[in-house]
Structure 1
Amino acid sequence: MARRLPKLLRSTEATVSLAEGEERGPAVIVRAHALLLAGGYLTQVRQYDTA
């Protein structure tokens, strides 16, 4: 998880920045889910400042 999480967050950020029109809404939702996943994981491994 620790190796894949940074790439996932970069990918979702790039997707949002490239999305236009009707595609932007779902891309933002996917990014939000990825950030929630990252925050949950970082909380579990006690990286509170990063989370």
Structure 2
Amino acid sequence: MTANHGTAQADFHLHSSGKSEAALTFTSGVYDFYCSIPGYKENGMIGTITVD
């Protein structure tokens, strides 16, 4: 897993091998996300996560 810290927009990648776990802590808010593979965002691979 890799992430950028301290920026308004960050790349966050989860690399699944099926053999590990990760615990994430988020600040409450609404977060938009999308697939960064070229063309995927434009074709609708986007979403929103709401953290309470």
With the length of structure 2 as denominator, give the TM-score of the two structures: 0.25
Larger proportion of helix = 1
The structure number with the bigger radius of gyration is: 2
With the length of structure 1 as denominator, give the TM-score of the two structures: 0.25
